[in-house]
Amino acid sequence: MKLASYTYKDKLGDARIGAVINNSIIDLQEAYRHFSHSKHGTEQAHHLLPSRPSAFFKEGLPAIQRGKEAIEYVKIHPVANAEFALDEVKLEQPVPNPSKIICIGTNYADHVKEMKSELPEYPVLFAKFANALIGPEDSIEKSPFTEKLDYEVELAVVIGRKAARVKKQDVHHYIAGYTIGNDISARDLQKRTPQWLQGKTLDNSTPIGPWVVTTDEVTAPGHLSIKSYVNGEARQSSNTSQLIFDIPTIIEFISSLVTLEPGDIILTGTPHGVGFAMDPPQFLQAGDRVTMEIEKIGTMENIVKAITE
């Protein structure tokens, strides 16, 4: 199931959680309302799914399971007021306001080499704040305080259950799904101190999306093609099999330090081919079209917009 956050293009309103099927989006709360009525003969509030994406993901795996039941129901019993064409809606951040956004640095060997770093003994962790996140149809804001804005395609993991001290072999029980992240980095700000944070969490700089694909559709996250393009030019091309620390290792490591909550996002690292390492370096400019692509998930494309004030 592809879980997406959406708003209507022709009217104001809060983002709602839906499931993308072909060229349509199904409103999950409305679909579940009909499913619940058919099953229980009631539409009481405690039988409904949350309409807000943030609340949906905080419920985690139980909400996802109920969403799957609703989708199976409406495939057989279409609900007119629950289905919309994708061109009628705007896709928003699939997981708004996560409590934690944890990123893994230097997690592909070729990227470590191109950045003239050393292979890490342990996963390198840094954080972003929710102010950095934007949706798959939003513009990447280029702050006037950086001249070295760079792209980084990354597989992102969305947590589906509270996770503390999880063992590698059990990690799959804690994942809600996977999405694409573009870990936009202001290299001049990142490199001016030993701590990377200031170059990693600029306002409205980090696209996530276009949707969260549940684990039943991404059964081998450690073997996915991962690519990026700038204005149609191929920049990064690798496979998640090249991760230094794979997803089970990452979640075991992080959950030994801090409890993960449903809706938390983990960005797992970027492969070689970033603009900083090109000769000469090539950084993002206003008007650039940045495309991220991961097998089994899809494509996300954002335009860079300069902010002057």
- Quick: pLDDT tens for 123-146: 999 999 999 999 999 999 999 999
pLDDT at 46 > cutoff 80: no
Q: Mean pLDDT of all residues in the chain?
A: 94
Residue 89: per-residue pLDDT: 96
pLDDT of residue 283: 98
Task: Tell me the C-alpha distance between 280 and 286, whole Å.
Answer: 19
Helix H or strand E encompassing 225: strand 225-230
The correct CATH number of 2-91 out of 3.40.50.300, 2.30.30.230, 3.20.20.100, 3.40.718.10 is 2.30.30.230
- Is the pLDDT reported for residue 43 higher than 90? no
- The amino acid that residue 309 corresponds to is E
244 DSSP assignment: S
Residues 6+ apart with CB under 8 A from 238: 108, 110, 225, 226, 227, 271, 272, 273
pLDDT of residue 83: 92
Q: Bridge-partner residues for 104, per DSSP?
A: 125
Domain boundaries, the chain: 2-91, 101-306
pLDDT in tens, 263-292: 999 999 999 999 999 999 999 999 999 999
**pLDDT of 193 strictly over 70:** yes
What's the pLDDT at 42?
61
* CATH class given for the domain over 101-306: alpha beta
Position with higher pLDDT, 215 vs 34:
215
Least confident range from 2-6, 73-77, 78-82: namely: 78-82
Distance of CA 83 to the CA centre of its chain: 24
**Least confident residue range of 29-43, 163-177, 238-252:** 29-43
pLDDT at residue 44 tops 70: no
Amino acid 48: pLDDT: 85
Whether 114 shows a pLDDT value over 90: the answer reads: no
* End-to-end Cα distance, the chain: 40
**pLDDT above 70: percentage of residues in the chain:** 97
Task: Convert 100-123 to b/e letters by CB count within 10 Å (16 or more is b).
Answer: bbbbbbbbbeebbebbeeeeeeeb
Name the percent of the chain lying above pLDDT 90.
85
Q: What is the pTM of this model?
A: 0.95
pLDDT at 75 over 60: yes
Is the predicted pLDDT of residue 11 greater than 80, yes or no? no
Closest by CA to 176, choosing from 94, 268, 263, 252, is: 263
